[in-house]
Structure 1
Amino acid sequence: MTKIIIYQVLPRLFGNTNRTRKFNGSYEENGCGKLNDFTPKALEEIKQLGTTHIWYTGVIEHALQTDYSRFGISKDFPEVVKGKAGSPYAIKDYYDINPDLAEDVPNRMQEFEALISRTQESGLKTIIDFVPNHLARQYNSDAKPKDTKEFGEADNTDTNFNANNNFYYLPTEPFSSPISSINEHEHYIEKPAKVTGNDCMSNKPTINDWYETIKLNYGVDIFNGNSKHFEPIPNTWERMLEILLFWANKKVDGFRCDMAEMVPVEFWHWVIPKVKDKYPHIIFIAEVYNPDLYRQFITHGGFDFLYDKVGVYDSLKAVMQGHAKPNSITKAWDSVTGIQQHMLFFLENHDEQRIASPFFAGDAKKGIPAMIVSGCMYTNPLMLYFGQELGEAGMDKEGFSGEDGRTTIFDYWGVEQFQNWVNDKKFDGGLLSDAAADLRAWHIHFINTIKNHEAITQGQLYDLMWYNEDNPSFDGDKIFAFLRYFKGKILLIVVNFSDEKLKCRVKIPAHAFFSMGMESKKYFKGIDLLGGENIISFPQEVAITNGAGLRLKPYSGRIYELS
């Protein structure tokens, strides 16, 4: 078995070597990456990280301010577009490719299909976004299949809610954007106003709302206690099944489902089996932030994997920032007992702040112990966000996106640290600092070490924190330790979240040796798989009473394979 390792990347930013970086710059000024920038060489370098899947973010056509009307693509009003480049989650045409990403705009779908083929030929699998909860205010599909109606075309707009409507309405009220028109003679007109994507039921959403999107109606009456009207099957359900099958037929391998928890779980229970019946290899990943919904979206909804943002991510972030002790990680993983294999772990993604930013940890090295914990704790998938492996800080003030520790998803931009690795599309890291090159080398070594190790991909977990609570030679304010084991293969994993060099002794209870089937073994020897010079050896009796002794560098960890 191989552990799933997902590499999330925005094609808009990936291949863009333009270093102008003008604040709020246009496509022409700041440049834009293309699908064709994912050359065999680029894909080879991504795979070298240990990647098994690439999540191409923002490939489906979404609202943007660049004018493509000469290609028959309708213009978008800036009043309902976030940033010059637009949000990847304000879908303008569910059946088309973002024209920004094409070398030859009329052949943008063919370029996407070629990308899928190149990705598969490189030995990687493809994930794309499916955005089911909302779409762009100016949704206009010029690529929809013949006889497919436009969303809302048959809606009854005189009522707030109708189970067969695609949208929710605010009859008699016109929509008012929080963004002023840049042309006083041209305004976006929407009357009656539709409910905004984040369930904002005002015709005047604020700048903090998802004002550029419209909420889709799945048969839930949000005006009357969220009563459900699922019989007969709502039209929106049928439409979304058609869209999923359309992209599955393009040979994608998975869907990351945006804000899946805002869509009724009954829809997922209905649609996922229908897609998998025709395309059984496809995986579904849900963005769900409410832990109370985790189990029903897995057991009833049918998702393969869920984001674990509220649990392990938040716990690791708090530990890295000094707001929590490492034993809080134990509480986080304990909360998902029984569904651990379905949780997707990550330290960065397009929504979250970069580890190296002062908003998060301020130093990319601080991510190393958290990465070890994320990658080694369970059999579940691990995700890496492009540039994370280089220590990208995301501290640019790009335009719509401010200086917030995130890499923009709304603006045309060049990501400096990533451009240094791309190095004019040679992908050789020729302009990287030594620290960035070393960090990437560490990620390559770590991920390739764990992704095929049976104790990681199939093994059980044994937490060691409880047994070391009163251990004077184990600083639980700085260290986290656990075991992974499978059929006689044992890994002792110890990480140091502090900036200090530490000596410690890790005690291992007799119960752990019994659980691993090692109670009859008297002596153990271990070598650090991460390349450390430290080799440990200890009798079982000593590990139980006094602990195995080892050294830890600042912001580091060791993975001892015990024999």
Structure 2
Amino acid sequence: MTSPTSSPRIYGHAFGRLGIDDVRPVISGGKLPSKGTVGEVIPVTALVWREGHDAIAATLSVWNAEASTVSSTTMDFDPVNPDRVHAVFTPATPGRWFFRVDAWSDVMSTWRNAVTKKMDAGQSEQELANDLSHGADLFTRAALQTPTDQAGPLFAAVKALASDAPFTERVAPAFSPEVTEILEHHPLRELITEGEIYEVDVERAKARYSSWYELFPRSTGGWDADGNPVHGTFETTKRALPRVAEMGFDTVYFPPIHPIGEVHRKGRNNAVTAQPGDVGSPWAIQDHTTTHPELGTMEDFKDLLSYAESLGLEVALDLALQCAPDHPWAQSNPEFFTVLDDGTIAYAENPPKKYQDIYPLNFDNDPDGIYEAIYDMVMIWVNAGVKTFRVDNPHTKPASFWAWLIAKVHATHPDIIFLAEAFTRAPRLLGLAKAGFSQSYSYFTWQTSKYDLTEFVQHHLEQADICRPNMFVNTPDILHESLQTGGRAMFAIRATLAATLSPLWGVYSGFELYEHEAVKPGSEEYLDSEKYELRPRDFQAALNSGDSLEPYIGMLNRIRRENPALQQLRALTFHEVDNDNVMAYSKADAATGNVVLTVVNLDPRNTQEATVHINYAAIGQDEGASFEVHDKISGETFTWGPHNFVRLAPQGDVAHVLVLPTVAEDRRTQLAWRPQDTYRA
């Protein structure tokens, strides 16, 4: 193959009169929108620069698809990096929003700076004659572009500059606080250079902030007179929901509620052969379009949705794109699968694991057919009232398919939330977020050390403009070793971390009962896994005996509801602690000035002591000042300062969740300035 030839490209068109670089949030060079939610403070930053020493400034302009007006804000300069500017905006409605950073020559600041330096250097009135004349011209132009009812002080500055009054009196009005404030709102701009227009896909607030609880509807039936589990129904599931709501969860997630295949059905503990009465895995789906007959009808399910909504709960339904061998598609559309040379359909494998009860889909044989079939199936549940889908293993399907499906669903139902259950490598996880997933499972479950947790969270902070991690503490598939051996303290530690590090967190039923027995040493599978059998639980008995984490989980969710700082991901700062078993981090909400500082003992077995060193910029307080903190866990109030002693025992409170003084309004915007916003080409 010969190399193509072409003329050298000319790049002069890439430069405007003034320089605008490294605008954020920008995803994939602007080919894709970044993400935001209604009511979320979205930080925008850029590098602006020019030749010489004249002052430069920048404006952030924001609008949405329906807006008839554009909101414009003069951006603030970073006190550390004089070339970086910052601003924030808060979208009020869902849909597509647009923003642009414009750079402009700040002639008024240039004039003021020059006059100040010349006066300080002792130059005479005669030497400054041209500066005073130029100033009068600038202030005249500024006054003419300012609303009439605000322009008076600017005209007064013009009159003073042109007068015969003593020199200091002539220039004083031009530097008055009143004039400075007017110019901040109505700056005189020259050499305006428009930046690129970028987009933000704004979803409803629940895409950003939600507390999930996972339960199996089929396990809500309790026991019969002989102590045997009874298959639950949608009616018994309704009776399980008030407890979930009382713990403060707002999303209840159901694994698949569809008919389960009979062919190659799995038995208890993933036994290859099912015994009589074995219920099988709900992920071995026999028909995606209807409900399991033992749970109830579609009308029963809709009634359950309505009841959940009355409790403040939204039902999230599992979307598992895989089929049991006796799924109708296996007969009607074998091209939706991989057919082997011997004519059989390939079942799922993850060596050494085999899933004979599941046929994975093949999206390449008949993409048009399978795409439309899946869309039609999803819309059955959307039209039934489902607004949130937890998608099973989306990283095993093409990202292009998800981009197509999510966009097509959102075209008519933009409020639908898709959660990617993808425990996978970072590029895949990020790619799924770019494809449209509102939330993503993450590797939080496996991050237990201070170093690993810090690196993990910093990584997600860098991706906060596109990827929202939902930090589940456990799942039916994942019982981490730390929970198997750490006892009650470790369950409390993991819940505290998840609930305070991310605005999205989740709990799988049984966590509050400290369920920790693995099927075998070295495994993360539960003994007697609920994936393969009914597993009713007596939550009330555990609560009555005091052997339940329910009250603590309820407290965490209440703290989250009361503190907007815990309802956002972007503004999180780690504070220095002199003990690797203790970590401290603060979260701040730039809209309200709410700040929460969490200190956690990561050691479930030993009391740990440490000193927490405060990063004052992150909490919006004067450097070195003392301030009161209120511990939402213990109810105590303390006075803190630059260096603070803490002592946390696993037998008691494993953490402090401290509410700090509300930040003054004139300092709140800086809470959204993220430390990772350094130069990036």
* TM-score, L = length of structure 1: 0.71
> 1:265-311 CA deviation, whole Å, 9 max, x = no partner?
00001010111122222100112122221111111x11001110x3x
2:585 counterpart SS class: strand
Determine the structure 2 residue equivalent to 1:56.
Answer: 254
1:324-473 to structure 2, matched below 5 A, reads 325-340=449-464, 342-353=468-479, 360-379=484-503, 381-394=504-517, 404-406=525-527, 408-415=529-536, 418-419=537-538, 421=539, 429-430=540-541, 432=543, 434-437=545-548, 439-458=549-568, 460-464=571-575, 467-468=576-577
Cα displacement (A) at 1:152? 4.7
Q: Which residue of 2 aligns with 1:197?
A: 348
* Secondary structure of the structure 2 residue equivalent to 1:444: helix
Residues 64 and 536 of structure 1: is their aligned pair in 2 closer, same or farther, counting only changes over 3 Å?
Answer: farther
The higher-RCO structure (CA 8 Å, 6+ apart) is 1
Asked if 1:504 is matched to 2:610, the reply is: yes
- Equivalent position to 1:34, from 222, 233, 237: 233
Q: Partner amino acid for 2:579?
A: D
**1:168 aligned partner, one-letter code:** T
1:279-358 to structure 2, matched below 5 A, reads: 279-290=413-424, 291-299=426-434, 301-308=435-442, 310=443, 312-316=444-448, 325-340=449-464, 342-353=468-479
- Structure 2 Cα separation of the partners of residues 20 and 349 of structure 1: 30
In the alignment, what sits opposite 1:553?
A: 649
Query: C-alpha separation between the residues in 1 aligned to 2:360 and 2:585?
Result: 44
What is the identity, as a one-letter code, of the residue corresponding to 1:60? Answer: H
1:152-231 to 2 correspondences below 5 Å: 152-155=331-334, 165-171=335-341, 173=342, 192-198=343-349, 208-219=353-364
* Matched-pair contact (CA < 8 Å) for 2:233–2:294: yes
Q: How far apart in 1 are the matches of 2:438 and 2:524?
A: 35
Corresponding residue number in structure 2 for 1:275: 409
CA distance in 2, matches of 1:327, 1:501: 19
For 2:532 and 2:219, the matched residues in 1 are separated by: 9
For 1:367 and 1:19, the matched residues in 2 are separated by 33
Is this contact kept in 1: 2:595–2:659, CA < 8 A?
A: yes
Aligned equivalent of 1:7, options 208, 213, 219: 213
- Could you tell me whether the CA contact under 8 Å between 1:65 and 1:85 is conserved in 2? no
**Residue in structure 2 matched with residue 47 of structure 1 by the alignment:** 245
Q: Tell me, what secondary structure is at the counterpart of 1:285?
A: strand
Asked if the contact 2:274/2:280 (under 8 Å) is kept, the reply is: no
Deviations 1:170-207 (A, max 9, x none): 13x2xxxxxxxxxxxxxxxxxx211113488xxxxx7x
Q: Is the 8 A contact 2:473 2:505 kept in 1?
A: no
What's the offset of the Cα at 1:407?
5.3
Aligned equivalents of 1:551, 1:80: Cα separation in 2? 52
For the 8 Å contact 1:456–1:484, the answer to whether it is kept is yes
In the superposition, relative to structure 1, how do residues 332 and 519 fare at CA in structure 2: closer, same or farther (>3 Å)? same
Mark the CA change 1:385 to 1:154 in structure 2 (over 3 Å): closer, same or farther: closer
Q: Which moved more, 1:84-93 or 1:335-344?
A: 335-344
Distance 2:360 2:452 in 1: 37
Secondary structure of the equivalent of 2:415?
coil
1:411-462 Cα offsets, whole Å, 9 max, x none, are 43344xx22x2xxxxxxx145453424x211111111111341111136100
Change (3 A) 1:527 1:257: same
**1:70-94 deviation per Cα after TM superposition (whole angstroms, max 9, x unaligned):** xxxxxxxx86899911111111001
Q: CA–CA distance in 1 between the matches of 2:623 and 2:315?
A: 46
5+ residue gaps, structure 2, are 1-204, 266-271, 662-681
Aligned-residue sequence identity (percent) comes to 19
Once the two structures are TM-superposed, the CA of residue 559 in structure 1 deviates from its matched residue by: 0.7
1:12 Cα offset (Å):
1.3
Aligned CA distance change for structure 1 residues 127 and 403 (closer, same or farther; 3 Å)? closer
The Cα of 1:354 is off from its aligned counterpart by 6.8
Q: Which has the larger radius of gyration?
A: 2
Match of 1:522, SS state, is coil
Q: Is the 1:354–1:406 Cα contact (8 Å) retained in structure 2? A: no
Partner Cα distance (2:419, 2:275) in 1? 27
Pair 1:279–1:315, CA change in 2 (3 A): same
The CA deviation string for residues 378-423 of structure 1, in whole angstroms up to 9 with x for no partner, is: 33x11011121222335689xxxx99535523443344xx22x2xx
Q: Distance in 2 between matches of 1:99 and 1:266?
A: 34
Structure 2 counterparts to residues 484-523 of structure 1, below 5 A: 484-487=587-590, 488-498=593-603, 499-508=605-614, 512-519=615-622, 522-523=625-626
Q: How many pairs align?
A: 438
Distance in 2 of aligned mates of 1:16 and 1:125: 23
Q: How does 1:133-148 map to 2 (within 5 A)?
A: 134-140=322-328
> d(CA) in 2 for partners of 1:111 and 1:445?
32
2:613 maps to a residue whose letter is: K
Residues of 2 paired with 1:10 and 1:49: CA distance? 17
One-letter amino acid matched to 1:455 = A
CA distance in 1, matches of 2:337, 2:390: 23
Match of 1:335, SS state, is: helix
Aligned residues of 2:260 and 2:282 also touching (Cα < 8 A):
yes
- Cα separation, 1, equivalents of 2:384 and 2:406: 17
SS in 1 for 2:462: coil
User: Structure 1: any 5+ residue segments left out of the alignment?
Assistant: 22-28, 68-77, 103-107, 141-149, 156-164, 174-191, 201-205, 221-229, 317-324, 422-428, 469-473
Helix, strand or coil at the partner of 2:354: coil
Q: CA RMSD in A?
A: 3.0
Residues 1:31 and 1:293: Cα distance change in structure 2 (over 3 Å): same
The answer to whether the 8 Å contact 2:214/2:508 transfers is yes
Structure 1 80/408 Cα, relative in aligned 2: closer, same or farther at 3 Å? closer
Which one-letter code corresponds to 1:332 in the other structure? Answer: F
One-letter amino acid of the structure 2 residue matched with residue 502 of structure 1: Q
Tell me the TM-score normalised to structure 2 length.
0.60
User: How far off its partner does 1:490 sit?
Assistant: 2.0
